[in-house]
Amino acid sequence: MDTLINEPINQIIFTVLDVETTGLKTYLGHRMCEIGLLKFCGTKKSKSYSSLVNPERSIPEDVIEVHGITDEMVKNAPVFESIADEVLEFIKGTVLIAHNAEFDLGFIVKHLHRAKKPIPDNFVVDTLTIAKKHFHFPGNSLKTIAECLGIGTEGGHRALKDITTTKEVFQYFVKQLRVKTLGELLDLQGGSIAFPEIEEVTPPPVIAKAMKIGGRVVIKYTDTKGNKTERIVTPIEVDKHHNTEFLIAFCHLRNEQRVFRMDRIKGIKIVVQSNRAK
């Protein structure tokens, strides 16, 4: 990728990236429910890729109100693992663009890690970072910036529309900043946006066993208010954020996916050797 640094900006192949998700935090079990990619180079015809993604969990109502993607829409969509190779092939050798790239990259990395796929080494340009550093909009959301520039935003918060909008914002920035090479663009940004690192978490043996066999466990849990409950859950994964570990599991009491802080679980025992049905 380093060979691209001195290439003229109009000869670089860019891929705009956007994901829609079930929530904002991967460590709380939120997942991708749509991905959109738009590849372009200079004034040549662009090429797009988009797919709904089955997040294998329900989408909260307040999130549906934002992007309009429902459980019904994704129930027959592919899981990310089945399209991971297509995504990697599409972005191979290109420079990625996203608005608030840290968010999109976080979900991409988490899903690739879950699919046991390599993490890319693409350069990444973030239109949000550039907007904050070099422009003075009344707000820095993609919608606000686009409206200030007279770029249509109808249909926003769906991946295909957002990548089209992001491309137009990016092209405006490049023109206004008189960028000639990729290296100049990355210097203006302060360097390429890094893909986040995945911190491996070793679950307790009983949870690791349950995840391996699809079994259920009984947990004794104390919530933030001190209320103590006993739950039967099917562990999905264990994640970590700021030195706090979280168990993401299907809770059979609430009949939905829930997140439990590991330090609030006071007892665990396996109760079912196979998960026949949720």
Q: Are residues 114 and 8 in the same domain?
A: yes
Q: Are residues 50 and 131 in the same domain?
A: yes
Alpha carbons 204 and 238: distance in angstroms, whole number: 9
Q: Are residues 66 and 173 in the same domain?
A: yes
Q: Are residues 183 and 144 in the same domain?
A: yes
Examine the fold and report which residue of 128, 157, 189 is the final residue of a domain before the chain moves on.
189
Residue 275 confidence (pLDDT): 46
Q: Measured at the alpha carbon of residue 39, what is the angle toward residues 57 and 9, in degrees to the nearest 5?
A: 135
Residue 272 confidence (pLDDT): 58
HSE (side-chain half, CA atoms, 13 Å) at 45: 1
End-to-end CA distance of the chain: 45
Q: What is the pTM of this model?
A: 0.90
Residue 198 confidence (pLDDT): 86
Q: Are residues 217 and 159 in the same domain?
A: no
Alpha helices in 68-135 (DSSP H): 71-74, 80-91, 101-114, 127-134
We report the CATH number of the domain holding residue 258 as 2.30.30.520
Residue 273 confidence (pLDDT): 57
Examine the fold and report which residue of 129, 155, 189 is the final residue of a domain before the chain moves on.
189
We report the CATH number of the domain holding residue 38 as 3.30.420.10
Q: Are residues 124 and 212 in the same domain?
A: no
In the beta sheet, which residues pair with residue 218?
232, 269
DSSP characters for 181-227? BHHHHHHHHTSPPPPPPPPP----HHHHHHHHHT-EEEEEEE-TT--
Instruction: Say if CB 104 and CB 35 are below 8 A apart.
Output: no
Residue 277 confidence (pLDDT): 43
Q: Are residues 223 and 179 in the same domain?
A: no
Q: Return the DSSP state at 23.
A: S
Q: Name the residue range of residue 243's domain.
A: 205-272
Instruction: Say if CB 267 and CB 221 are below 8 A apart.
Output: no
Q: Are residues 218 and 101 in the same domain?
A: no
Low-confidence ranges of the chain (pLDDT < 70): 1, 155-156, 272-278
Q: Which of these, 102, 57, 119, 74, lies nearest to 248 by C-alpha position?
A: 57
Q: Are residues 89 and 158 in the same domain?
A: yes
Residue 194 lies in a domain: no
Catalytic residue ranges: 157
Query: Tens digit of pLDDT for each residue in 23-74?
Result: 999 999 999 999 999 999 998 989 999 999 999 999 999 999 999 999 999 9
Q: Are residues 110 and 240 in the same domain?
A: no
Q: Are residues 214 and 80 in the same domain?
A: no
Residue 278 confidence (pLDDT): 43
Q: Are residues 143 and 211 in the same domain?
A: no
